[in-house]
Each structure stands twice: as structure tokens, then as C-alpha cells.
Structure 1
Amino acid sequence: MTPDSSGPVEPGDAVVSALAINVAVPESLQWTDTRRGEEYVLQSITVRLLPDGTLAAKAYGRPVAGGRGGYVSFAVPDRAELAMLIANAADRAAERWAGHRGLG
């Protein structure tokens, strides 16, 4: 079925182009990084599920000095505890998606 035709929507009609989740980083795992001379404390990670089933992650945070700062992404450091946080969050998101109850 095409989007402009009438009739029932079949399961195969839905083309999912992206899946993403936002993960809060516990304070004990937060870290700092610098961009354009401003230091940020990284407090959240956006995780995307790629078409091949692997995950991609970017970190976001707030300037240490306060204020809003720019919306700037940072690489997630190669730390076992952050990899575990991301994997656990992806597993939890999969459970929640699988149990969805539709719009409402």
C-alpha cells in the first residue's frame, strides 16, 4: 500500500529508518571533555541502532562553567562501564519497544 492510497496498512508497509534512545549517565560515570575551549560534563548518551544491528553512540552534556552552551556531541570513551551502560540500556529499550501498547 502506498501512503496516498486507501486500505489497510500491512506490517511490511512500515519502513523504519532509525531507532534511537537517550540514556542518562549516572553521576559516578560522567566525565568531562573540551570543545572550542569550553569544558563540558557529559551527562547523557544518544544510542542509535544501525541497520546491521550494531550500536552507535554520542555523548552530550552541559558546560562546567554553567549556562546553556552549544548542542555539541562528543565521542563516548572506550570504557567498559560505559559500554555496559549502553548495552544494558539497549536491552531495556528492546524490552520496552516489544511491549508497546500502541498510541494512546
Structure 2
Amino acid sequence: MDGDELDVSALAVNVTIPDALRWTDTRRGEEFRLTTLNIRLLPDGRLAAKAYGRPVAGGRGAYVSFPIPDEPGLAALIAGAADRAGTLWAAHRGLG
């Protein structure tokens, strides 16, 4: 089967946010520390990303998503992670 005929519905990668780039945000009065990015390749070739984190106060709070702030360091992290993921995918060695 030709690769162009395959319907790949999702291309996503999870990336740990380095300590220096982490931030906090608030949802429903609770502060969250954002530690992970989920980066998706959209069908038109653009990237989309959300940040995920846990409550600063601890406990078993929900793992909640947040928008990414417009910060150059985060934009570079997202682009770099997408490039790295592409390299890793291209070098796959099949099932095994």
C-alpha cells in the first residue's frame, strides 16, 4: 500500500517542559504547575500544543490542559520537539 493512501488520524508527541520554562496557571481557583506539552501535527502541517500539569497544592487533582503562552522559549521547545520526533519516526526499525 502506498503511504499516501494511508489515513493517519493522529501524530502527537509528549514532551517534558524543562524546569526553566515551566509556569503556573489557574483554573477554577486552583493553581497548576505546567510540566508537560502535548504537541500535535495537524493535517495542514501546522503544529498545535497544549500544556498539562497538576495542582501546586498536591493531592490527587485532575491532570488539566492549558493553552501555551506566547513565549519564544516555549515556541522553540515545541519546534525542536517536533523536529526531533520526525527524526525518530523516520528512523524507526519496524515492529519488534
TM norm structure 1 = 0.87
Return the structure number with greater strand share: 2
Match of 1:44 in 2: 36
Q: Structure 1: which amino acid aligns with 2:11?
A: L
- My pick for the range that moved more, 79-88 or 10-19, is 10-19
Residue matched to 1:11? 2
Please list every run of at least 4 consecutive aligned residues from structure 1 whose deviation after the TM superposition is greater than 6 angstroms.
none
Report sequence identity in percent: 67
Alignment of 1:7-86 (within 5 A): 10-12=1-3, 13-86=5-78
CA displacement at 1:14 relative to structure 2: 2.6
RMSD after superposition: 1.0
The residue matched to 1:73 in structure 2 has which SS?
Answer: strand
- Compute the displacement of 1:28 (Å): 0.7
Unaligned runs of 5+ in 2: none
**TM-score in terms of structure 2 length:** 0.94
**What is the one-letter code of the residue matched to 2:91?**
G
Corresponding position: 1:95 with 2:84: no
Unmatched 5+ residue regions in structure 1? Answer: 1-9
Which of 1 and 2 has greater Rg? 1
